[in-house]
Amino acid sequence: VEWSDSERKTIASVWGKINVGEIGPQSLARLLIVYPWTQRYFGTFGDLSNAAAIQGNPKVAAHGKTVLNALDKAVKNLDNIKATYAQLSLLHFEKLNVDPGNFKLLANCLTIVAATAFGPAFTPAVQATWQKLLSVVVSALSSRYY
């Protein structure tokens, strides 16, 4: 993957403004509400019975933060995203048995949550770069499935 200087700048700037403790929990909660079949992977997380329960669930919030902190690794290793996520990809495949189609769904939720948080600053150009970053992450997370 090639990144232009302007894409690198956009990613650094967007990432610098992301509040991991808000965007992470909101994105994971949105995944579980909008695509309820994704709840099957989080059987140990307690009450996911309705939107309010999911949004108020501390395990969802904590794990959303974990996921977003993992994205920080992509931002810091733009030229090496595939290798950066090799272990995490294997974990989601072999141990967690997560269907890789779900990575795309979480990426969609991250985009909507980011757009809501940024408002008009989330221009089409910013969205394009953001989604490029997420698709490289999704592809890296799927890369060790066999």
DSSP structural state of residue 104: H
Query: What's the gap between Cα 26 and its chain centre?
Result: 11
Is residue 29 a contact point for ligand HEM (CB under 6 A)? no
Kindly state whether residue 96 participates in binding ligand HEM, applying the rule CB under 6 A.
yes
**Shorter beta-carbon distance to ligand HEM: residue 6 or 46:** 46
Q: What is the 3-state secondary structure (H, E, C) of 4-58?
A: CHHHHHHHHHHHHHCCHHHHHHHHHHHHHHHCHHHHHHHCCCCCCCCHHHHHCCH
If the CB atoms of residues 8 and 142 are measured against ligand HEM, the closer one turns out to be 142
Kindly tell me which of 6 and 36 has the beta carbon lying closer to ligand HEM.
36
10 binds ligand HEM (CB under 6 A): no
CA distance linking residue 5 with residue 95, whole number of Å = 38
Buried b (16+ CB within 10 A) or exposed e, 14-27: bbeebebeebbbbb
Q: Which stretch binds ligand HEM (CB under 6 A): 10-18, 48-56, 94-102, 118-126?
A: 94-102
Q: Is the CB of 45 or the CB of 118 nearer to ligand HEM?
A: 45
From residue 38 to residue 77, what is the string marking binding to ligand HEM with x (rule CB under 6 A)?
A: x--xx-x------------------x--xx--xx------
Please identify, using beta-carbon distances, which residue of 6 and 34 lies nearer to ligand HEM: 34
According to DSSP, residue 91 is labeled I
User: Please, is 40 exposed, middle or buried when counting C-beta atoms within 10 Å of its C-beta (0-12, 13-18, 19+)?
Assistant: exposed
Binding site for ligand HEM (CB under 6 A): 38, 41-42, 44, 63, 66-67, 70-71, 88, 91-92, 96, 98, 102-103, 106, 137, 141
